[in-house]
Amino acid sequence: MTGATAGFGKAIAERLVGDGYRVIATGRRRERLEALAGSLGPALLPVALDMDDTAALRALPGSLPEGWREVDVLVNNAGLALGIGKAQDSAVADWRQMIETNIAGLVEITHALLPGMVARDRGHIVSIGSTAGTYPYLGGNVYGGTKAFVAQFMRNLRCDLLGSRVRATNLEPGLCGGSEFSNVRLRDDDKAAAVYQDTHPIQPEDIAETVAWVLGLPGHVNINRIEMMPTCQAAGGLAVARG
Ligand code: NDP
Ligand code: 8X3
């Protein structure tokens, strides 16, 4: 479980421990992982891990304690958006950061854990994509691009996994509140709060419920992708410049 220190990841970790899973909870903020372990008990193993640290990701399977090395479920949740400006006004460092975490980190940890799943002929990779990977919007530029990558990567994994019992699912949520996503993206808590003003967005518990459902389905059923939006959201159509 990547990105378990906040938002979706924390809710998914709590839900899965409640459902009887043993969960390896990762993220950079060690103190939050320790707090989660304190509240959820020995079924949760806190592992401080930076998704941008390629060496740590490659070493991960072998560095896990005895009894935790056979990872059956990977929830690729860690990720971020930085900025909402037009491409021509964006900081390229923000773009690179999103690519590093949302794409490079995700494929590294998948590459580290997938062979074990295939060898054991059991496992499930659930990635958290986004509606931003399907629907373009003003300021979505590289963030949406990273989530489009995730969507196609997950579809392609299904092709490669055909014949094994390892499953792969991309979960593509739209507007979601109750996480730090907009605080990180906008770097301004007031602006972040305004994103959700007078809306009823999807909550982290809704995401956790969906992940738990996908994982709990019988082994012969693979949910390829789920696109989910709050009832208060829909696609907005195409834009036209006049004059
Ligand atoms: P949060 O900001 O609340 O949580 C993001 C999590 O990712 C944190 O636990 C953070 O941990 C972790 N993370 C970020 N960068 C790194 C890194 N370099 N190394 C390790 N962990 C990292 O956001 P959400 O819960 O909302 O987002 C979770 C996922 O859902 C993301 O992939 C996001 O793109 C996606 N998503 C979010 C939507 C929304 O509206 N909220 C909608 C659709 C998809 P730490 O900082 O401790 O390292
Ligand atoms: C998060 C949803 O619409 O902010 O992935 O891109 S959106």
Per residue in 195-219, pLDDT tens?
Answer: 999 999 999 999 999 999 999 999 9
Band the pLDDT of 6: cuts 50, 70, 90: very high
Tell which atom from ligand 2 comes closest to the C-alpha of 195. 4
- The finding on whether 3 has its CB within 6 A of some atom of ligand 1 is yes
Cβ 4 vs Cβ 13: under 8 Å:
yes
- Residue spans per domain, the chain: 67-228
CA distance 120 to 138: 44
Segment 121-149 mean pLDDT: 98
How far, in Å, from the CA of 101 to the mean position of ligand 2? 16
Q: What is the ipTM of this complex?
A: 0.99
- 67-228, superfamily in CATH? NAD(P)-binding Rossmann-like Domain (3.40.50.720)
Segment 53-79 mean pLDDT: 98
Pocket test for ligand 1, best of 2, 29, 106, 181 (most atoms within 8 A of CB): 181
Pocket test for ligand 1, best of 80, 102, 185 (most atoms within 8 A of CB): 80
- Note the pLDDT tens digit of each residue in 85-123: 999 999 999 999 999 999 999 999 999 999 999 999 999
CA distance 158 to 231: 30
